[in-house]
Amino acid sequence: MNILVTNDDGIGAPGIKALADALAGIGNVTVVAPDRERSAAGHSLTLHSPLRVFELKENWYAVDGTPTDCVNMGIHTLLPYPPDLVVSGINHGGNLGDDITYSGTVAAAMEATLMGIPALAVSLATFASTEHFPDAAQIAVSVVDEMMKQRLPPDTFLNLNIPDLPLLQIKPVMITRQGKRSFIGNIVDKMDPRGRKYYWIGSEEPNFLDEEGTDFNAVGKGHASLTPLHLDLTNYSAMEILNRWQFP
């Protein structure tokens, strides 16, 4: 099995090393990842500047682009043939609830799905410093084993979030739905050294509505959370309502 590994924390992040090391036990791993942190890059693609690739060591490529660029570069240029699987992560910080739309980690898996390649996004649900990336990587490998054995439903990719715990304390994988964030505005404004005001979007610990069955709830209880996602953003129940609207 040929596995393309990427992330949005950058190729030097500890999470991608733990993931690549663990996946090397079950396949041939090629890493194609951003040359620096691109967290919250979402599904963005670089269209207005060239991309450069740096081969750091055998099968490890840094790209000066987004996670979505990396998946494109990996599949269309750097790998001799399309991989059997794309795994993105392990992100330092959960990708839970509404936050997944910002996530470069999740978008990379989304991009692979658009190309018809099975994909998994993996995140470790803490922003604190942690030693548990190798533990989370073991969970990711077990999920990969099962998803390759069972085959994913069409147009589906998986979002795995793992609690920040030692392997033996992580409770079994729970299938969840995407939760909801409760937003708190937090924009810092300060003065720069030349007396001009600047603004910085803050990053406090996200708050979620703690509903049963959600990704957030499962991780909070110590389970690994696995959410099947798809690219179709249509709100089907709203279609019925909109069909009753009167347009000229």
**For binding to Mn ion (CB under 5 A), which residues are involved?**
8-9, 39, 91
Question: What amino acid is encoded at 14 in this protein?
Answer: P
Which residue's C-beta sits nearest to Mn ion? 39
**Beta carbon of residue 64, minimum distance to Mn ion (angstroms, whole number):** 17
User: How would DSSP label each residue in 88-112?
Assistant: EEEEES---GGGGGT-HHHHHHHHH
Q: Which is nearer to Mn ion, 39 or 214 (CB)?
A: 39
**Residue 8 vs 69, nearer CB to Mn ion:** 8
- For residues 218 and 176, the answer to whether their CB atoms sit within 8 Å is yes
CB of residue 33 vs Mn ion: minimum separation in angstroms?
11
Q: How far is the CB of 112 from Mn ion (least distance, A)?
A: 17
27 versus 136: smaller Cβ distance to Mn ion: 136
Nearest partner of 27 among 68, 87, 109, 76, judged by Cα? 87
Question: Which residue number, 91 or 214, has a Cβ lying nearer to Mn ion?
Answer: 91
Q: Name the minimum Å distance from CB 13 to Mn ion.
A: 8
Residue type, 134: P
Phi-psi region of 29 (alpha: psi -120 to 50; beta: other; left: phi over 0): beta
Contact in structure between 116 and 149 (CB atoms under 8 Å): no
